[in-house]
Amino acid sequence: MRSLRTRVLARPSTAWVLMVAVTGCASHDRLPAARWSTRAQGAAAERLATAPGSPKWARGMHPPEPRVTDPFWTSDVARPLELGRTRLVVDRPHSEIASAQAETRPAAVERGPLPGFFETVRGDLRETPGLLWADTRRVYTDPLNVVFLIGAGGASAALRPEVDDDIEDYYDQHHTFKEDWRDAFGAAGNPATHFALAGAWYLAGQRVQDAKTYEVGKRMFSVLTITGLSTLLLKAAANTEAPNGEELAWPSGHVSSTTAMATVLNEAYGPLVGVPMFGLSGLVAVERLDSGEHHFSDLVFGAALGWLVAETVMHEHHPEVFGGEVVPYVDVMSSGAGLAWVKTLGN
């Protein structure tokens, strides 16, 4: 493999310098991990097999053999130590691993729905607090995420007051949508609508015993909860005023929630679902301006927040941009600093 590093440095003279470095490494060191849908299906089969009254393998699904490069599966020899949604394969006897799991894991993860609806719900209610806490820590303890949010906050602040005032003046005299369309897009961007959709995904996955649909619903709920609570806390801290005079404008909850949901669906089902959902996010953002509910700067940070939370929870590491990671960069020799985009390419 080759690692392509593209670095953009901000120098004191405000000049931008583009740096590219290519380094080589062995291309056979990493094996491709199993697809999410395959792993989720096998996890569902494994859990169903242990449910009371279930056959050895339910619905004809057979999980693959455990691999060190794909630590999703368990066996009597190599069993994972659960840390949030990240599992580490450890070559230890089953009794020792079971003891370690009892001490460290916050909740079970990606194990598919149980056959009974209420049995599934009861199990998930017990696990939800631990999963939410693990996801929240993953989002806000990653230094790169913090840098990204600070940068998004700075960009939002830079738009005030001139850009915000110009856009507000425009919408004082013009409307992009008619009133019925404004109401429709306002409802589509309401976080309550998104929680209802997450519940529908969860219910559908449980009823048809589809592990991927079920897990998408669970992760969507986690993403929307973290995004919503973060938005409310920031609104209370900033206490800014919207163009229509209402308080608690920054950041936009409609845009942060819609962007978060679009990101989850894009990661789970690809661009055929994700692109239309991101388009809906854009329409919701325009409606917020058209209705006088938000300034443009409110929308910018809201979109950044929703995307960051969803990307982190879905990928279980700091977000990627076009398949590459964005990392802080400091050049001691030239006294420059900025962000570096790191992309791993195959031969």
Over the stretch 263-294, which tens digit does the pLDDT of each residue have?
999 999 999 999 999 999 999 999 999 999 99
Question: Do the beta carbons of residue 5 and residue 342 sit within 8 Å?
Answer: yes
Give the number of other CB atoms < 10 A from CB of residue 87.
Answer: 18
- pLDDT score, position 74: 34
Checking if the pLDDT of 95 tops 90, the result is no
Q: What is the DSSP letter of 27?
A: T
User: Once rounded to an integer, what is the mean pLDDT over residues 51-57?
Assistant: 46
Residues 128-182: pLDDT tens digits?
999 999 999 999 999 999 999 999 999 999 998 899 999 999 999 999 999 999 9
* Residue 263, C-beta contacts closer than 8 angstroms, at least 6 positions apart: 223, 274, 306, 307, 310, 311, 314
Cis peptide bond upstream of 161, omega within 30: yes
Phi/psi class of residue 59: alpha, beta or left (left: φ > 0; alpha: ψ in -120 to 50)?
left
Give the residue, 197 or 11, on which the prediction is more confident. Answer: 197
User: Once rounded to an integer, what is the mean pLDDT over residues 310-314?
Assistant: 93
- φ and ψ of 64, to 5 deg: -70, 170
- Report residue 115's pLDDT band, with 50, 70 and 90 as the boundaries: confident
Question: Do the beta carbons of residue 243 and residue 288 sit within 8 Å?
Answer: no
Q: What is the DSSP letter of 70?
A: B
Pairing of strands 16-24, 2-10: antiparallel
Checking if the pLDDT of 196 tops 60, the result is yes
The Cα-based distances of 184 to 146, 161, 188, 189, 342 in angstroms read 34, 29, 6, 9, 40
Helix (H) or strand (E) holding 78: strand 78-83
Tallying the residues shown for the chain, one arrives at: 347
Of 30-44, 177-191, 275-289, which range is least confident? 30-44
Give the residue, 33 or 313, on which the prediction is more confident. Answer: 313
Checking if the pLDDT of 71 tops 70, the result is no
